[in-house]
Structure 1
Amino acid sequence: MPGKRDTIVVNDDGNKTTYQKRILLYTIREAYVLFLTEHAGISLGRTVFAELCPKHVVVTSSMAHRVCVCIYYENVNLLLNILCKHINESQCSNLHSFTSVLVWDESNYDLMSSNCFMCSNYFDLYVKSNVTDKNVQIRWYQWKHINGYATKKEQQSSVEQCIEALSSQSVSISTANASCGNDNYSFSLVSDNISHDKYCINSCITSVINKMKEELPSLEEILLFSDGTASQFKQRYLFHNLTRISNNFKLCLSWHFFATSHAKGVVDAIGGTVKRLVWQ
């Protein structure tokens, strides 16, 4: 851990030694399995293995949530470390400097959520236009999940392709599934609006009902089921809006909420399938 105070004093046979804390990215169970794999001839229980862990090595659950150690964060850093060498006046040596170039105020939530038109051209202005040679082939490392373990793999691509990958915009996916008798209808609504607020949900519901009315002209009643997310579903604005939608479409609508942590279903599978197809 990088902080000046992120240290621990260990008593080694009467001698006090100060160590910088280290983060164990694996769980104790995962580290134990790796140990047995590499030292097949040693018989050691997991409890003893955990007790032998150095005092200055801490698990991720005991660290402060101020440092991101996930592979997504690190992969962007690894790419920026190489890419900055091919950008004039580059301030993109790491993720922090990169985000500071893209917005004028990192503490503003709307700016960091790409909801500011003033910052929309910052990437082209400060990054894309300063590329020295977009056709240069570069090599860098990325963390990949292979057989359940995170492994560094070398990547190769042109500077132009890397820049395009960094400039790709985020989108949101709203999924729905409708059943009528033996017929099923799956919906995946993609939008560049990533707010996930009540207005976005209203647009999605309206779009789905419009499509269902086209498929089933004699439709009279719809039973809606969802989780209890307050920002999207379980709120007074949505309930008020249901009366308007019901009157507009001449439908009888009712909304039902799943119990907490019990809303996993086909809509999650639809979203997972769409994301997998995009990444392929």
Structure 2
Amino acid sequence: MESKVKVVKDFYNREDISVQSAGRKDTLIVDGEIISKRFMLITVSEAYEVYKNEIIEESVNISTFYQYRPRHIQLSSKTPHNMCVCIYHANFGFLLEGCAKIIKSVPRNFQSFLQTICCSIEDENCMTNGCENCTKDLKNDIVPVAYLSKMNENVKWQHWRKVDDRIILTYTVAPLSEIIHELEVQLPLFKQHFFVKRSQQNYFESVKNNLRPGDLVLQIDFAENYRLICQNEVQSAHFNYKQVTIFTCVAWMFDKTKSLAVISDSLNHSKIDVHLFIAKIVQEITHQHGNFQNIFLFSDGSSSQFKNKFIVWSLPDFLVQFGCKTVEWNYFATSHGKGAVDGVGAVIKRKIRQITKTKNIILSDAFSFFECAQENITGIHSMYISDDAINASSPTLMEKWKVIPNIPGIRKLHSISCDDHLKLKVAQTA
């Protein structure tokens, strides 16, 4: 039974089941240790359906699955408002819940629903709407005849909408026929999103779990800027505070894992910053652990930071600079880029806040923040790059990037690699 309990707990901690909070206050004390909270991406019952389908050899009943949810794994309903929610999954889930209020046979679980209407959720042709055999007419194919008379019955459901450049949660009351029509409208895009999310997450886990000597996996992201404050600041200081950029990274190697952060007073979060921060991180890791043959980068798909032609055409430069055989960059699906890397930023900010309060230390700029982190935070290797250093490197990069070609359809691409022939290979998924 102990082995099953461990499997269940490990399952709850999977990146496709829960994500670590980036909030410095989202912590719990478990067995005397401060642990960052993780928030579930789906309900426990939906997670159990995934568990049953994927982990057959360690099967447990649903009550046991509920019982052994770790304390730091919080329910999806408790997700803070400042954590990003996937609008595709949320809105499609609301529609399924609305449908199921009347048609009890409609699955509330995304995967179960897609398995009902698609030939195979593993088939890219099916999930990208190229299959003629997959269900498209939901009213005729999934609504039982007994419910056709209830098409005009009103249903209330939630919906995330954009109003005046803000995303707000609204409520809609409309006939069942309208909610089914809305499902049909959203279905093609949701299928693609679901497939990309699942493919990229599975590939990420596969690469991490099958590392060989010479492999290096990096998950990177910008943490929310840290605001430099002191306990008794005057009112004018409150409105004229400085900020610090924290670029975070978790590195997985064959026999070890390492957390790193680049601290900077540059607040641009630009493509130039990204290029230089990655170079700094890899240089530090190779200095400590030697060169790597294969480097795998994972990030979200922010077009201003990571997913643009400038960063993509940096891959051949990285390959030469780092002396490796392949460099690969994989992008998670929209709103699904959270992971262990978010915990790095949360830990740094929480510990710096504790140190400055308890020791009455005043941090005046990004460099003093870096020094404080370097001296007081163990387990996270901190580095510093100044805005002046970034500006000094900027002309060289911008001159090089003047002549690079566009990448057709880059928004739909989620996997880009460069081999030792310095040729780029692109794909919709890994």
TM-score (norm 1): 0.42
Q: Which of the two has higher C-alpha Rg?
A: 1
Higher relative contact order, chain-length normalized (CA < 8 Å, sep 6+): 2
